[in-house]
Each structure stands twice: as C-alpha cells, then as structure tokens.
Amino acid sequence: MELFLIRHAAAEDASPEQPDADRALTRKGRKRFKAAVRGLRRLDVRFDVIRHSPLLRSVQTAELLAPLLDGQTVVDPRLAEAPSDGLLAGLSGARVALVGHQPWLGELCAWLTAGDKGHGEAIPIDKGGLAWLSGDPVPGQMHLLALFPLQPLRRMARK
C-alpha cells in the first residue's frame, strides 16, 4: 500500500467564538492547496480511497483532492484523534490518502515507520503538506518515501 498522510490546508485561526470543528480553510489556504494538488497530479499521484476527518477544514481539504480520486471518500472520526488500531484496521486499497491533523498524523507516521508513536513531533507535516509511505499498514512495517511540504508541491505545479 502507498499511504499519503495529508495535513489539512491552512484554516481560520482558532477563536473562542467558533467551535474548532467549524474552522474553514482560508481563501489563501484553499488557493495554495489547489496548486499543490496540481503538483501531485504532475507526479501522477492518484488515490483509490480518500479517508478524512469530519472537521470542516479536513472535509474541505479532501474535497480539493477529489480530482486525484479514482474511488471513494470515507469520513473517519478516528483521524481527528490519536492514531489507533481501529484506524489501521479500516485501511484498504493500493493508494490511500488520509487527511487529518497534527500532531496525530506525525504520530501515525512514526508509529507506522518506527513502531513507536512517541516520536511523532519529530515528523514535520506542514499545513497542506504530506508524508508518503509505502508497505503494509502495520506499526513499524512502512517506509517513509518522502515528506513534502506545501511549497515544493506548488512549485511543481508551475513547472
């Protein structure tokens, strides 16, 4: 399996007046992530499944990834919490995108590659960036192929 851990694009700042789940992508975040999606398309990245958290910024990010989708989208609330066995058990497909949040995507990346969630903070996944993994989605059994911040993906779209 090729697994793409994708952090949501830049969203509105947290504020006491608005529930965290309702924070939408900013106009700039949306525009930049659209360019990153064009960059991924140039890399021939396609997804069989896009799983995303139910938080609005993640839903909107998954929507922007739809041009790269050959299969289904699935909403999974376990992407809005610390990574769990249940999350891994639900993974199927050859090329799967998981759209979620930090620090949990970093923890998931550390868990899948090193078998230990504890070093998640050492894996920087920018807003709109991604970690590209390959292997069986079992703790310690995946290889980290690439870490893409948003900026190089956007640049690729311009080439």
The residues binding other proteins (CB under 8 A) are 21-22, 24, 50, 52-56, 59, 62-63, 66, 69, 72-78, 86, 90
Verify cis geometry, omega within 30 degrees of 0, for the bond prior to 149: no
Closer Cβ to other proteins, 22 or 121, answer by number: 22
| Token pair for 14 | 């947290």
Q: What are phi and psi of 30, to 5 degrees?
A: -65, -45
- In the complex, what is the shortest distance from the CB of residue 145 to other proteins, in angstroms, rounded to a whole number? 26
Q: Which residue has the tokens 């949501």?
A: 8
Closer Cβ to other proteins, 100 or 129, answer by number: 100
- In the complex, what is the shortest distance from the CB of residue 71 to other proteins, in angstroms, rounded to a whole number? 9
Partners of residue 98 on adjacent β-strands: 5, 51
- In the complex, what is the shortest distance from the CB of residue 60 to other proteins, in angstroms, rounded to a whole number? 8
Closer Cβ to other proteins, 90 or 135, answer by number: 90
- In the complex, what is the shortest distance from the CB of residue 138 to other proteins, in angstroms, rounded to a whole number? 20
> What CA–CA distances, in Å, run from 85 to 10, 89, 91?
28, 6, 10
Closer Cβ to other proteins, 80 or 156, answer by number: 80
In angstroms, the CA 14 to CA 74 distance is 26
